[in-house]
Amino acid sequence: MSFFGLDCVRKKERELERKLRANDREYNLSFKYATNAIKTSKYNFFTFLPLNLFEQFQRIANAYFLFLLVLQVIPAISSLSWFTTVVPLVLVLTVTAAKDATDDINRHRSDNHVNNRKVEVLIDRKLRSEKWMDVQVGDIIKLENNQFVTADLLLLSSSEPLNLVYIETAELDGETNLKVRQALPVTGDLGDDIEKLADFNGEVRCEPPNNRLDRFTGTLTYAGQKYPLDNEKILLRGCTLRNTEWCFGLVLFGGPETKLMQNCGKSTFKRTSIDRLMNVLVLCIFGFLAIMCTILAIGNFFWEMNEGSQFTVFLPRQEGKDAKFSAFLTFWSYVIILNTVVPISLYVSVEIIRLGNSFYIDWDRKMYFARNDTPAEARTTTLNEELGQIKYVFSDKTGTLTQNIMTFNKCSINGKSYGDVYDYTGQRIEITESTDTVDFSFNPLADPRFMFHDHALVEAVKLENPEVHAFFRLLALCHTVMAEEKTEGELLYQAQSPDEGALVTAARNFGFVFRSRTPESVSIMEMGQQRSYELLAILDFNNVRKRMSVIVRSPEGKLSLYCKGADTIIYERLHQSCSKLMDVTTEHLNEFAGEGLRTLALAYKDLDEDYFSQWKQRHHEASTTLADREDKLDQLYEEIEKDLLLLGATAIEDKLQDGVPHTIEQLSKADVKIWVLTGDKQETAENIGYSCNLLREEMNEVFIISGNSPEDVRQELRNARTSMKPDATEDSMFIPERILSNRVKVITDEVVNGEYGLVINGHSLAYALEHSMELEFLRTACMCKAVICCRVTPLQKAQVVELVKKYKQAVTLAIGDGANDVSMIKAAHIGVGISGQEGMQAVLSSDYSFAQFRFLQRLLLVHGRWSYLRMCKFLRYFFYKNFTFTFVHFWYAFFCGFSAQTVYDEWFITLYNLMYTALPVLGMSLFDQDVNDLWSFQHPQLYMPGQLNLYFSKKAFFKCALHSCYSSLVIFFIPYLAMNDTVRDDGKDVADYQSFALLTQTCLMFAVSIQLGFEMAYWTAVNTFFILGSLAMYFAVTFTMYSNGMFLMLPSAFPFIGETARNSLNQPNIWLTILLTSILCVLPVVTYRFLMIQLCPTINDRVIFKVRQAKAAPPPLPRRARIRRTSSRRSGYAFSHAQGYGDLVTSGRFLRRPAVSRSSGFAHTGRTTTGFSPMGRSAGYSPTGRPQNVKVNDVEVTSLQMYRTMDHTL
């Protein structure tokens, strides 16, 4: 760590190989490896003030005001008091510093919370409790069940047989299913013997720190032997130890060098596009200010040369101060006077507006999730208006779009479909929470959380239908689930994927209970009878096979092969006698897939004893060969997995979060493009894409990019682009965008006929993100309506976001719920964290957080759009009122000898932005809305102008400047001409400087107030009070300050002669002048808006017209129909499964301590109360054992659930 709190990683970039020795801190310290402390904060006590001020003065306006302050302390130049600048500047710096300090204190607290966690470390032959930050590379530490892994460790030994440990990697890859790691036998023998562990002096040589989560290479040298190390022996920081009493590990990487932190990405200072535009505009304003001051300085020079010489008789010049020097001083004097073109109150007001709109998000009850007591939270106050300009949304899948809960919904057995519920007329009815569920009381081992609604299936089981029994017997036998039963009847399933757990739990509830397994057998309870099947072989799953099989021998000695997998794969291997059953099952599969369910086909065959003996011998030979082992095994699997008999199919739902399809539909109508970046396998992600309406059957084509080489990927991308746009050319994809003289390439949006989707897997994406191919990938992806990236690493997620940010002139948003999403959240313009089941890492790194994905549409379509609209209105009006205020000085200079005299009273100049016009514009910026939230959902197209920067841009700014120029001409010259050679009713002269100043500033106040009234679309009592109250305040202050008493007490502070206000404002011609000026100022605005609405109305104009027609009534409540898709597509093999678990099961490496002895305990007379809490589930299976499907009463229904979008042609 450097002194300024920045990670110093230059040394680590040069590290080519890591060397360390166990239990030898002195040796390991010589390499200066990072400790296990992490630091995400930016400041410390000593660096906060200098660093924060340095950051704040990088904002051009702050540096400009500091420069003005220096000028104002020079008496020869300044015509205004220094406090008019220093007070607002200090206020802005203090408020911003306080906000930054609060944010950084929260980061310090988070760091301290993590760094001060305790872990047992082996030091001086004793286990000592140490803080995480004190752990060093080479230390041996002890972890216990449910503890977070402290650092990246080499697993040495564990409490489980064969030194296995079970870990949950949700913080790394978003998957909550358990994974298995195993120690080397040589280190496993150390056990928990402290003396042996203290004597362990193995040396590790391995790869340097990197961000690859799926790979590790290294060697362990111990007792003269060298042992290879791979990813299966490593525990990564961020994992959680599950179902393992204890384990010991050797620290390889600590703190910032762990793979978790290497994937976190850098924290960047996020600024909105309006902020960036403001910097450009402020530079333009400075240039314009310099031009105005130069013109006035030149005017002063000529005036001094021609007219000024006539005054030297009674106003002699000082020596050495001629006309040139006078012009020089005049230039700087006008820089001070005209500085209100960029008033510092602009930045104070912007921060207040952002803070207010952040509170609206925090207070929004319609974004509150009652089940978890989780409100929405705006964790930053600087990005609200950016929410109204989002073009690309990058979303995680598991836990963000889905609940990661698999439910066994339906099945097809021997040509009959189960799962739907019908009424007495035979009509299918929709299943709701109030629908009756099947009573499983006949089964004491049933999971109480499993819910099924079709009573026909349980009746078929009770009637001992042979096909139904064979169906559930297959589900109970053909899997790699591990069961644990610590007490009688208390079953705990450890599934490698939620799908497997759901299927095994379904079989369990229907009377086929998987109880235990050994490497050679599987024990199940079949309708109350304990049966043990001999496990002869597991034909494991992989991505090519898309199926798995088991070969078992029943207690009666019958040999059978049970197979489950993707229906297209299973159908190719069925016996021809199954053709009619295939047709019926295919119809059921189409129906299941049409509802977005994940389908599997089930089949079996009986085997001949002699044939199997011969096959088993060949299988053993193939599994022990070194050359082409995989190919030989695949050939054997193909040989035996044929002529299968079809049993049926299952349909599992990966439960989407509530409202996800509707939210995606709404955002799509708002022209927001959604890309899903997930660590899940392709089939799973694709199925979810269809379930949530991201991919649709109506699409012309969904392209699959799965090349294994750069050439293959490039060709697949080109083929996809050619299919979408055959006439596409290579040189039409860029438009030059010049920003501050830096030319960058921006990829244009290419119009294609039809809608397309793109699915790309992780290894293909790695090639596509290479510099030579990234534009090819981005161009193809941007032509698609939806993009899904599968098997991506956390760093790849961030790279995809960075790629879009770099080449697309668009605002991006990333949303996720796990630590694997942190880098993506940090990389996007806006980061949103879902406070779900995968920890709080994503929330802590996010800009906004809430509990459900469906709240995203309210965040964008309501809060984001309103914030953007309010900010743009504020900026347009603020520049208008200040340019108008300032330009009057410019015109007055031609009538005061360019003497830098102000046209207004100094008190009016001081109070104009702070008191007279501050609250009205703030009221508009906090309360204004063109239409209410219901109409915003009814017409998502209202969101599009924000994506195109239509409300505030350089063009809008220059229109505002021209409008201000016109208004200032009217406000100066109408009073000037009206008062010229004018007398009062009593014959006294009215045309003095002070009376003219009063009339001009009064005209200005009325003009800007009326203009504000035209800007507001939503009047409230607060807005009305602010506008009328500000005018009343102006007159009250004016009559008080322009009085005899104030003038006589402090003539230097209140130079206007008493009674100026009363004597001027009691004249009818003065009020007629104010009226004429106000009408002439607003007349062009009214005319322009009338013509625009009539000739080319915007989407806002048309919706507002509809609202007025409906007399502001809410839109009609559409009937919320259940979303069903008709589809000919069947879901692929939907397991979130990894290859190799069959080998693990049959090797015996999974074995745990012996379970308690058990009897069948199976009674048909009702459920027995055994006090158990089984963890498996189908309707709510969670491999982590978290309770699910808990019914919550009185959950507030959000408006997003009440109102669906109706397609209206506007």
Where in the sequence numbering do the catalytic residues fall?
A: 396
Alpha helices in 307-437 (DSSP H): 323-337, 345-363
Which residues, in sequence order, are CB contacts of 884 under 8 Å at separation 6+?
Answer: 964, 967, 968, 971, 1004, 1007, 1008
Q: Are 495 and 1181 in contact (CB under 8 A)?
A: yes
Cα distances (angstroms) measured from residue 794 to each of 265, 313, 801, 932: 9, 81, 11, 38
Helix 954-979 to helix 1068-1095 angle (10° resolution) is: 150
Q: Return the H-helix or E-strand segment holding 904.
A: none
Beta-sheet pairing, 529-539 with 547-553:
antiparallel
In angstroms, the first-to-last Cα distance of the chain is 58
User: Whose CA is closest to 167, among 114, 213, 210, 118?
Assistant: 213
The token pair at 546 is 């898309």
How many residues are listed for the chain in this entry?
A: 1210
Q: Are 496 and 178 in contact (CB under 8 A)?
A: yes
The CA distance from 1188 to 404, in Å, is 11
User: Whose CA is closest to 505, among 1175, 1186, 1208?
Assistant: 1175
User: Whose CA is closest to 460, among 496, 411, 498, 493?
Assistant: 411
Q: Are 994 and 1057 in contact (CB under 8 A)?
A: yes
Residue corresponding to tokens 């956390």: 794
The CA distance from 977 to 1003, in Å, is 14
Task: Please state, as a whole number, how many other Cβ atoms lie within 10 Å of the Cβ of residue 666.
Answer: 25
Which residues, in sequence order, are CB contacts of 557 under 8 Å at separation 6+?
Answer: none
The token pair at 745 is 């390439």
Q: What is the DSSP string of 979-991?
A: HTT-B-TTS-B--
The CA distance from 1206 to 1117, in Å, is 10
The CA distance from 352 to 87, in Å, is 17
Cα distances (angstroms) measured from residue 365 to each of 182, 248, 423: 48, 47, 38
The three-class DSSP label of residue 165 is: strand
Q: Are 151 and 209 in contact (CB under 8 A)?
A: no
- Burial class of residue 1097 (count of CB atoms within 10 Å of its CB; 0-12, 13-18, 19+): middle
The CA distance from 142 to 592, in Å, is 48
Which residues, in sequence order, are CB contacts of 1030 under 8 Å at separation 6+?
Answer: 915, 916, 917, 919, 920, 1009
The CA distance from 912 to 878, in Å, is 12
Q: Are 411 and 601 in contact (CB under 8 A)?
A: no
Query: Half-sphere exposure of 1151 toward its Cβ, with a 13 Å CA cutoff?
Result: 13
Query: Half-sphere exposure of 327 toward its Cβ, with a 13 Å CA cutoff?
Result: 15
Phi-psi region of 431 (alpha: psi -120 to 50; beta: other; left: phi over 0): beta
Q: Are 884 and 1000 in contact (CB under 8 A)?
A: no
Q: Return the H-helix or E-strand segment holding 638.
A: helix 629-640
The strand order across the sheet containing 246-253 reads 126-131, 118-123, 140-144, 246-253, 152-158, 234-235
